[in-house]
Structures are given as structure tokens and as C-alpha cells.
């Protein structure tokens, strides 16, 4: 029993040190993106129809640090701006799967080639969903959109039809979803802002909004990853290596019901990889996990319709399976080297250990202290409601 506990702690520390510095850097970079990229910019460039709008939606969605439930308020905002259903579909898939914080975390433990492949695949899958939407989903006329425009309020998003219990159990609690569109930290920079104000605004948004929302699920993801690495049967890899179908079926059974944010799915993906699953199977987990959950599906059904939901799910499942097969069949030996991961575990540096301690401290701070903020005053001078 003592040996098992020590193995569990060792695996937890390995995952934590492997990913911590990239999470912290990613969150800060995400704060920069969000601080300098106002919501109005997103709505303006997606407020149109056709495939060009879909391409913009896919590209804009890549760096944004929004998980599937944080993106909920954007749906009403995008509809108000006149965005087509296909553009919204594209944005809904591209954004939760990636994100600058998630990409840096993926790079830290799986390398830049896998990260690039994951990012490219998410863009293609999201564009595929948008293309299917253009074919199968009938858009409202401009006149009808103008008549309905007052139904969608950007600030007070209607969450009445969503399973609130599911939201409270996800990576983004209900209060986080509701405040996403009203956070003062998300406001564009004033011309007269000092560099200190800019710095405080970026750091505050990065940690008091982005990191705070994912802290709990990130810690759970690392713990589950450690559990998987500790208790995964040693002979499972021999069975998995003989059948891609078995890999994909098992990973879908794990990913579909288990809701994780894109960032918190990374340590679990690393654990599954070390446990014998193929890189393609891990890709499915990193794609299907963040993009499919009851919250997003409820919102899509309510605002875009059942056909949009069918297109959404089909695009994610079909796209992730196709890209997983391509990855395993052509690139698995090139993209990921498990021995390199094991080698890195034996040479944990001082910076990695300090980053792990900081990440652990911030996680516990935000989880157990309800009104915790990175600075003594919220948002570098904004109202306390932002924290």
C-alpha cells in the first residue's frame, strides 16, 4: 500500500512539473490576447455569412482561452451581430479544443509537432462543421434576424434552458459563465492607461478569470492522470497495440461522458499515452473531451436547433476519428517519443519545480478561497465584482 501511494505521488509530481510552467505562461499569454482583443473585435469579424466568415471564426477561435461553457455568452452576442449559424458552429468547435494556454501545455509534454497537428486538425474539423452547416442548415433571412435581434442580450445571457447542475460540476461554474461577458478585466485598454495598469489588467484577467475558472478541473485532471499512470494494467498496452479500433472505442467511452477543459485534458492525455494508448487515441481524447458536453449541447439545441447539434456532434466524432487514424498510420513515430517524456521526468529542473509549487499554491488558493484575487484589489482598480 505504501509503495502504491508513493508511486501515485511520484506520478502526480511528474505530471505537475511537466506541465506547470507551460500552464502559467499560457495563462499569461491568454490574458494578453483577451486584454488587447475586445469582444467587439470578435463579433465584428464574425458578423457575416458564407465560408469566409467561417474561416475567420476558426482562426479567431484558436488562441482564445475559452472552454465549452465559457463560450456560452458568445452565442447570443454572435447572433446579435448577425453571424451565421455556420460561423457560430465553426467558432464553437475551434475555440474549446485549442487555446493558447492549452497549446503551450500540449507543447510542454508532447512536443511542437503534435501541438501543430492538433491545432491544424481543430481548424479543419471546425471548418468541416461550418461547411456542413452551410449545406444542411437553412439560415434566417436578414429581415428575420433584424426582427429577432432584441431577443439576444449580450450582457445578460439567457441560461434558463441549460442544465445548471451540469454547469456547476464543470470546469466553469455558473457564476463564471455569467460574468464572462461583464468582466471589467476584459475591457479594451484606455489610451491613458499606464503600463502598470496594463500589467495589472493582464495578470488579473489571466489568473482571476482564466486560471480561476480552470483551477479545479486542472487539478482534478492531474490527479486523474496520476491515478491512470499508477493503476493502468501493464499488459493493457499489448492489447492496445494490436487494435486501433479498440483504442478508439475505449477512448471515446472515456472522453464523451467525461467533461474536461482543453488545458486540464492534457495531463490525462499524457497519462493515457504512457499507459499504452496510441497517439491517435490520445488525440481523440483531447478533441472530443473539451468539445462535447451536456452544457454546450443544450445551448446549441436551444439557440441553433437540433440539426445544428447533429452537425456539431458528427463533425467532432468523424473529424477526430479521421485525424486520429492519419496520425497513427502515418505520423505516430515522428510526433511523439514516449522515451523522451520519460527522460524529461528524470531531469526535472529547478524552474519546473518552482512553477509546480506556484501552480499548486494558486490552484488551492482559488479553489478554497471564494473571493481570492491575484492582487489585493481586483482588476487593478476595477470593481470588486470582477474578482
Give one DSSP letter per residue of 149-216, joined into a string.
Answer: GGG--SSS---TTS-HHHHHTSSS-HHHHHHTTT-GGGSPPPTT--HHHHHHHHHHIIIIIIIHHHHH
Q: Residue 368 class from Cβ within 10 Å (0-12 exposed, 13-18 middle, 19+ buried)?
A: exposed
Distance CA 22, CA 107 (A): 8
Which H or E run includes 240? helix 236-240
Which distant-in-sequence residues (6+ apart) come within 8 Å of 51 by Cβ?
A: 86, 130, 131, 134
pLDDT confidence of residue 72: 66
Q: How far apart are CA 308 and CA 152, in angstroms?
A: 18
The secondary structure of residue 99, as a DSSP letter, is: -
The predicted pLDDT at position 356 comes to 93
- The set of cell numbers assigned to 357 is 509549487
- Chain centroid to Cα 154, Å, comes to 22
Residue-level pLDDT, tens digit, the chain, 387 residues: 778 888 899 989 988 998 888 889 888 887 887 777 766 777 677 666 678 888 888 888 887 767 666 676 667 667 766 778 888 888 888 887 777 888 888 888 888 888 899 999 999 999 999 999 888 887 654 444 444 444 444 333 444 444 444 444 445 554 444 444 444 444 445 556 688 888 888 898 888 888 888 888 889 888 988 898 888 777 777 777 778 888 898 888 888 766 677 778 888 888 888 888 889 999 999 988 877 767 677 778 887 888 988 999 999 999 999 999 999 988 877 665 554 554 455 567 889 899 999 999 999 999 988 788 887 554 444 434 443
Q: Whole-prediction pTM value?
A: 0.74
Give, in degrees to the nearest 5, the angle at Cα 100 between 131 and 167: 75
Which pLDDT belongs to residue 174?
Answer: 47
For cell 499554491, what's the residue?
361
- From 164, 140, 133, select the one nearest 54 (Cα to Cα): 133
Task: Measure the CA dihedral 185/367/97/326, to 10°.
Answer: 150
> Using the 8-state DSSP alphabet, how is residue 233 labeled?
-
CB-CB neighbours of 155 under 10 Å: 10
Amino acid at each position: 500500500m505504501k509503495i502504491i501511494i508513493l508511486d501515485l505521488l511520484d506520478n502526480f509530481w511528474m505530471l505537475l512539473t511537466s506541465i506547470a510552467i507551460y500552464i502559467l505562461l499560457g495563462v499569461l499569454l491568454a490574458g494578453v490576447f483577451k486584454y488587447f482583443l475586445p469582444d467587439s473585435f470578435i463579433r465584428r469579424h464574425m458578423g457575416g455569412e458564407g465560408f469566409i466568415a467561417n474561416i475567420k471564426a476558426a482562426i479567431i477561435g484558436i488562441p482564445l482561452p475559452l472552454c465549452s461553457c465559457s463560450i456560452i455568452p458568445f452565442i447570443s452576442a454572435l447572433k446579435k451581430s448577425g453571424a451565421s449559424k455556420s460561423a457560430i458552429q465553426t467558432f464553437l468547435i475551434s475555440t474549446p479544443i485549442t487555446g493558447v494556454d492549452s497549446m503551450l501545455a500540449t507543447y510542454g509534454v508532447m512536443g511542437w509537432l503534435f501541438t501543430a497537428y492538433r491545432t491544424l486538425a481543430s481548424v479543419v474539423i471546425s471548418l468541416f462543421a461550418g461547411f456542413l452547416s452551410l449545406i444542411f442548415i437553412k439560415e434566417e433571412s436578414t429581415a428575420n434576424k433584424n426582427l429577432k435581434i432584441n431577443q439576444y442580450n449580450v450582457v445578460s445571457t439567457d441560461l434558463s434552458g441549460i442544465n445548471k447542475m451540469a454547469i456547476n460540476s464543470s470546469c466553469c461554474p455558473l457564476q463564471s459563465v455569467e460574468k464572462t461577458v461583464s468582466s471589467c478585466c476584459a475591457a479594451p485598454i484606455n489610451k491613458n492607461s499606464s503600463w502598470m495598469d496594463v500589467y495589472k489588467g493582464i495578470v488579473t484577467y489571466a489568473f482571476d478569470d482564466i486560471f480561476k475558472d480552470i483551477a479545479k478541473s486542472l487539478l482534478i485532471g492531474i490527479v486523474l492522470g496520476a491515478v491512470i499512470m499508477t493503476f493502468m494494467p501493464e499488459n493493457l498496452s499489448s492489447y492496445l497495440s494490436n487494435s486501433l479500433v479498440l483504442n478508439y472505442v475505449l477512448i471515446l467511452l472515456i472522453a464523451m461522458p467525461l467533461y474536461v477543459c482543453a488545458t486540464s485534458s492534457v495531463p490525462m492525455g499524457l497519462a493515457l499515452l504512457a499507459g499504452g494508448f496510441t497517439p491517435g487515441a490520445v488525440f481523440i481524447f483531447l478533441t472530443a473531451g473539451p468539445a462535447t458536453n451536456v452544457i454546450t449541447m443544450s445551448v446549441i439545441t436551444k439557440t441553433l436547433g437540433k440539426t445544428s447539434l447533429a452537425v456539431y456532434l458528427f463533425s467532432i466524432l468523424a473529424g477526430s476519428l479521421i485525424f486520429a487514424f492519419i496520425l497513427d498510420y502515418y505520423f505516430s513515430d515522428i510526433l511523439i517519443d514516449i522515451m523522451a517524456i520519460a527522460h524529461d521526468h528524470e531531469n526535472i529542473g529547478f524552474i519546473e519545480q518552482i512553477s509546480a509549487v506556484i501552480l499548486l499554491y494558486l490552484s488551492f488558493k482559488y479553489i478554497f478561497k471564494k473571493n481570492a484575487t491575484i492582487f489585493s484589489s481586483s482588476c487593478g482598480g476595477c470593481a470588486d465584482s470582477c474578482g
